[in-house]
Structure 1
Amino acid sequence: MAKALEGIRVIEYASGAGVPYASKLLADMGADVIKIEPLEGDKSRHIAPFVGNEANVEKSCLFLYANSNKRSITLDLETVEGVNIFKDLVKGADVLVRQGPPEYFNSKGLSYEELSKDNEGLILSSNTLLGESGPYKDYAATNFTVSHMTGGTVLYPHGTGDGDRAPVIMGANMEAFDAGPISAIGILAALHWRFRSGKGQYIENCALDAGIAPLTTETVIFPVFGQNFDRSGETQRLQSSLNFECKDGYLGPFFAQQNEFDNLARTVGKEEWIGQEWFTDMAQRRARCEEISDAMKEFSSKYSKAEAVEIFQSNKVPIGPVDTPAEVVNSPHYNERGFFIDIEHPVAGKMKYPGRPFIMSKTPHTYNNPAPLLGADTDEILKNVLGYDEEKIADLRKSNII
């Protein structure tokens, strides 16, 4: 079956979540992604949770997910030979995805200027947390640091009405996994430009930029209107609103249009609200948001999540269940769409993973290979990609370069 990125070779030198996820998106569309790891492995191999609660470099759930469909080669970049192998791999690549300060790579002779001398069409995707310029560029940071610096966490938790409460961190590596797709989009755009021009280019990706970009409402309202968004403002809008408790969980509503508020009123037995001036005027509706919320709470508390969602949806009220991860994985909706896939790993065993984020009719995503064992493809890559003989490979291994 045809693959969208078949014939594209990507060299990845990155660890953690976001940047490897960018390469994974390319691998799932058919790119040949060769992951270069230090001898001890990508740091995410050492991050819990582990399959079976066994700390093992082959059982980190984060690594297993973010690195499927890739090949792995181990390489010591602190040696001259290791750097030379890196250069040899990049010579024949379409894309280099790297993570870390440019100064480190420049000191090794691995700058874009040097690497592109032997590969004019090279696309180098450089990824840092805080950017390659600006007063913060040398700050020590993590993905959680970035989350706070975007201005987004000051809005959480939404809808509490408690503007004095301390911000709550966004979980699930959100900033990292926001940055990954942005990086992948940049690479795809550069590949298209190379197809037209024959030339590669340098792409600078900054996780902080990628984290701020989706905050469209907040980042537009302040510079345009001077309004500083906070959690109490979220409640007053009654658009993202609160989560409402059912017998077995919560509902997540979002109302923005008048017809949605009218449908809500009909559903919760408040038809008398419809057409009243206060209910059709946003400012007056905000002033009475507690009254609306109380009616929703009273109604939803009588039902299970499934029952309440069915009732609201039958009346075209945009409310969905607040699902747990277990409920998401076992959801009949996702399963009917084939979103989750089973992949067999030689050490971790069979696991269920999130699959394609979009569906392509002619070149569907493929999931043929689990995340690679540490360095599992080193010999094959050196032999078949670079043409090294077995004696040279043995010498490299004896010298702890691979």
Structure 2
Amino acid sequence: MGALSNLRVLDLTQVLAGPYCTMLLADMGADVVKVERPGGDLIRSNPPFVDDAEAEAYGGYFQSVNRGKRSLELDFGDEDDREDFLSLVETADVVVENYRAGTMEKYDLGYETLAERNPALVYSSIRGFGDPRTGETHRQGQPSFDLIAQALGGVMEITGQADGPPTKVGPGIGDLFTATLNCVGILAAINHRERTGEGQYVDTGMYDAMISLTERAIYQHSYTGEAPTRRGNAHPTLFPYDAFETADGHAVIAAFGTNHWTELCAAMDRDDLAADYPTAADRLEHREPLRAEIADWAARRTTEELVDALEGRVPAAPVQTTDDIFDDPHVHTRGMLVAVDQPGADADVEIAGNPIKMTETPPDPRGRAPLLDEHREEVLGERAETAADD
């Protein structure tokens, strides 16, 4: 029994942001019914596959963020399907969708309509630019993806090497961070409902979320009047806090505190640097020559040698590949790789686990992602049973 096992969530989302949000809820025990449009989520057919794309029900993209959900295929353009959905809304706790603003209203299934059926409903949307209900702008209705959000929100401008172009962060943070914030908003709304009995609308925009994520750039601009830009792996106000090339790879060192700086200098056999640059301000002022000293020391060691020399004394780590992650016993002990069945492949695959750990109700990915419309009879049958009980 997960912490949210009392909640029923109707998940109308697709691709990444919405499904990741509802995946978090499912991992924490919520009954998440993935209501899919005819043909299913757009990313069901996205690679990679284990072996045979024709034989396998879906690829890794869909599997990763839809585990532990139930699937029901509905066409909102069909009156019977629309009524089926509305009947499910009557006993649902949460509805989540990530369509463009106005899409649900075209089917007369917007928040106001659903709230009439269920005043305690928490209705949540994830959109590129938010919803007019919480602040109307000219951008609403425009399509958006992770790349758009990262570009507009300043993430790309401060990511990459100083002499290189603006660079997208590898993971889809425009989707994932927005989804996580949306999950927080849903849980806050559920808490409010527990106290008052009132449902409400929860709105999280991707552009807004990226502004929140780049908080450092925002306050830097406000304090200095200058627009921050790319600094590679360095930090604008902390030193050393950077990646360094080793004889066989790269490692990161975060020794901006005086205690860690002293330990780093001792490991380098350069106590003179500790004496000559005793304060954080000294080190920031002379960061370029000091970085060269550390880089020279790092280049003459393997990554393992560097980390071993600093481990327990200075925050340092290797820059790992996913091969390294799969080999790391820490990752396995923490349950961060989860095996699930891959339908059509006669094999298990591993997906990322849930980083939220709880002692009494630990989140637990509950099996593979669903086949399209796999749970129709189950879900609609439960609705009929509920109506009979009433």
User: What TM-score does the superposition give when structure 1 sets the normalisation length?
Assistant: 0.89
Partner of 1:14, secondary structure, is coil
Counterpart of 2:266 in structure 1 is 266
Alignment-derived partner of residue 320 in structure 1: 317
Q: Is the 8 A contact 1:236 1:289 kept in 2?
A: no
| Distance in 2, Cα, partners of 1:319 & 1:172 | 22
Q: Tell me by how many angstroms 1:305 deviates.
A: 2.0
Q: Structure 1 residue 304: deviation in Å?
A: 2.6
Deviations 1:138-176 (A, max 9, x none): 33322101111111111111xx443xx310111221211
Identity of aligned residues (%): 27
Which of 342, 345, 353 aligns to 2:342? It is: 345
Cα deviation, residue 103, structure 1:
1.2
The 5 Å alignment of 1:1-400 reads 2-52=1-51, 54=53, 58-132=57-131, 133-157=136-160, 160-162=161-163, 165-232=164-231, 234=234, 237=237, 239=239, 241-276=241-276, 279-314=277-312, 316-348=313-345, 349-386=347-384
- 1:145 maps to a residue whose letter is I
- Structure 1 SS opposite 2:39: coil
In 2: Cα distance, 1:148 partner to 1:55 partner: 36
CA–CA separation in structure 2 for the residues paired with 1:24 and 1:72: 13
- State the shift of 1:127 in Å: 1.3
Deviation at 1:251, TM superposition (A): 0.3
Contact preservation (8 Å) 1:246, 1:304: yes
Does the C-alpha gap of structure 1 residues 199 and 148 become closer, same or farther in structure 2, counting only changes over 3 Å? same
Mapped partners of 2:351, 2:335: distance in 1: 11
The answer as to whether partners of 1:5 and 1:26 remain within 8 angstroms in 2 is yes
Counterparts of 1:228 and 1:33, CA distance in 2: 43
Q: 1:27 offset after TM fit, Å?
A: 0.5
Is the CA contact 1:45–1:57 (under 8 Å) kept in the aligned structure 2? no
| Rounded Cα–Cα distance in structure 2 between residues aligned with 1:301 and 1:18 | 40
Query: In 2, distance between residues paired with 1:22 and 1:351?
Result: 21
Deviation at 1:34, TM superposition (A): 0.2
Q: Deviations over 1:257-299 (max 9, x none)?
A: 22222222111121101132xx134454334323222222222
Distance 1:56 1:287, change over 3 A: farther
Q: Deviation digits for residues 322-376 of structure 1, max 9, x if unmatched?
A: 1111211221211222322212233343111221212111111223321001111
Residue 280 of structure 1 aligns to a residue in which SS?
A: coil
3-state SS of paired residue (2:291): helix
Q: CA deviation at 1:184?
A: 0.6
Post-superposition Cα deviations, 1:100-132, rounded to whole Å, max 9, x if no partner, equal 123111121111111111211100001101122
Q: In the superposition, relative to structure 1, how do residues 55 and 129 fare at CA in structure 2: closer, same or farther (>3 Å)? A: farther
In 2, Cα distance between the equivalents of 1:195 and 1:36? Answer: 26
**When the two structures are aligned, how many residues end up with a matched partner?**
381
User: Residues 236 and 368 of structure 1: is their aligned pair in 2 closer, same or farther, counting only changes over 3 Å?
Assistant: closer
Aligned partners of 1:188 and 1:371: how far apart in 2? 23
Q: What letter is aligned with 2:343?
A: P
Moved more, 263-272 or 42-51: 42-51
Q: What is the letter of the counterpart of residue 323 of structure 1? A: Q
Change in CA separation of 1:386 and 1:302 when aligned onto 2, cut-off 3 Å:
farther
Q: Which runs of 5+ in 1 are unaligned?
A: 389-402
- For 1:198, the aligned partner's letter is G
Name the CA distance, whole Å, in 1 between partners of 2:296 and 2:354: 39
Contact 2:155 2:168 in 1 (8 A): no
Q: Counterpart of 1:398?
A: none
Indicate the residue corresponding to 1:400 in structure 2. Answer: none
| Contact 2:56 2:342 (C-alpha < 8 Å) held by counterparts | no
What SS does the aligned partner of 1:274 have?
helix
Greater shift, 3-12 or 137-146, is seen at 137-146
Native 8 Å contact 1:161 1:235 kept in 2: no
CA contact (8 A) 2:251 2:316 kept: yes
Q: Which amino acid aligns with 2:217?
A: E
Contact kept, 8 Å, 1:89 with 1:386, in 2: the verdict is no
Unaligned runs of 5+ residues in structure 2 are: none
Contact 1:11 1:96 in 2 (8 A): yes
Q: Could you say which residue in structure 2 is the equivalent of 1:393?
A: none
Q: Tell me the CA shift for residue 63 of structure 1.
A: 0.7
Letter of the 1:260 counterpart? H
Partner of 1:36, secondary structure, is: strand
Contact 1:46–1:56 (CA<8 Å) still a contact in 2?
Answer: no
- Work out the CA distance in 2 between the residues paired with 1:251 and 1:329: 18
Larger displacement relative to structure 2 (165-174 or 286-295): 286-295
In structure 2, relative to structure 1, the CA distance for the partners of 1:45 and 1:239 (3 Å cut) is: farther
